[in-house]
Chain A
Amino acid sequence: MQETRELLRIEHLKKYFSTPSGILHAVDDVSFVLDEGKTLGVVGESGCGKSTLGRTILRLHEPTDGKIFFDGQDITGLDKKRMKALRRDMQIIFQDPFASLNPRMTVGQTISESLIIQGLVDKQDKRSLDKRVAELMDLVGLAPRLINSYPHELDGGRRQRIGIARVLALNPKFIVCDEPVSALDVSIQAQVLNLMQDLQDSFGFSYLFITHDLSVVKHLSDEIIVMYLGKMVEKAKTSRLFANPLHPYTQALLSAIPVPDPDFPVNRILLEGELSSPINPAPGCRFAKRCPKACDKCREADIPLKEVEPDHFVACTLVR
Chain B
Amino acid sequence: MSTTRTQRKQRSLWFEAWRRLKKNKLAMAGLLFLALLVVIAISTIIIDIATNKSYYNDHVIKQNLRLRLQGPSKDHIFGLDEFGRDIFLRMLWAVRYSLFMGTIAIAMSTIVGGILGAIAGFYGKRTDNIIMRFMDILLAIPSMLLATAIVAALGTSLTNVLMAIAISYIPTFARTVRASVLTIKDQEFIEAARALGASDLRIIGKYILPNSLAPLIVQASLGVAGAILSIAGLSFLGLGIQPPTPEWGSMLSNARSYIRDGWHITVIPGLGIMLTILALNVLGDGLRDALDPRLKN
Contacts and interface: CB of A to CB of B under 8 A. Distances in A.
Contacts of B194: 60
Contacts, number: 80
A145 B196 contact: no
Contact of B192 (A94, A104, A150, A153): A94
Nearest to A119: B197
B207 interface: yes
B196 A101 contact: no
Interface in A87-132: 87-88, 91-92, 94-96, 99-106, 113-114, 117-118
Contact of A87 (B4, B10, B189, B196): B196
Interface string A16-60: 000000000000000000000000000000000000000100101
A83 interface: yes
Nearest to B14: A104
B197 A99 contact: no
B211 interface: yes
A148 interface: yes
A181 to B, nearest CB: 15
Contacts of B188: 94-96, 99-100
Contacts of B10: 106, 148
Residue of B4, B191, B192, B193 most packed against chain A (CB within 10 A): B192
Interface string A143-170: 0110111101100000000010010001
A268 interface: no
A18 B242 CA distance: 59
Contact of B13 (A88, A114, A152): A152
Contacts of B195: 58, 60, 87, 91-92
Contact of A83 (B4, B193, B197, B206): B197
Interface of A: 55, 58, 60, 83-85, 87-88, 91-92, 94-96, 99-106, 113-114, 117-118, 144-145, 147-150, 152-153, 163, 166, 170
Given A60-B191, A101-B189, A104-B211, 6 more contacts: A84-B197, A94-B188, A104-B210, A106-B10, A117-B196, A145-B8
A-B residue pairs, 9 tightest by C-beta: A84-B197, A100-B188, A87-B197, A104-B210, A99-B188, A102-B189, A94-B188, A117-B196, A92-B195
24 contacts: A55-B191, A60-B191, A60-B195, A88-B197, A94-B188, A99-B187, A99-B188, A100-B189, A100-B191, A101-B189, A101-B192, A102-B206, A102-B211, A103-B13, A103-B211, A113-B206, A117-B202, A145-B7, A145-B8, A148-B7, A148-B10, A149-B8, A152-B13, A153-B11
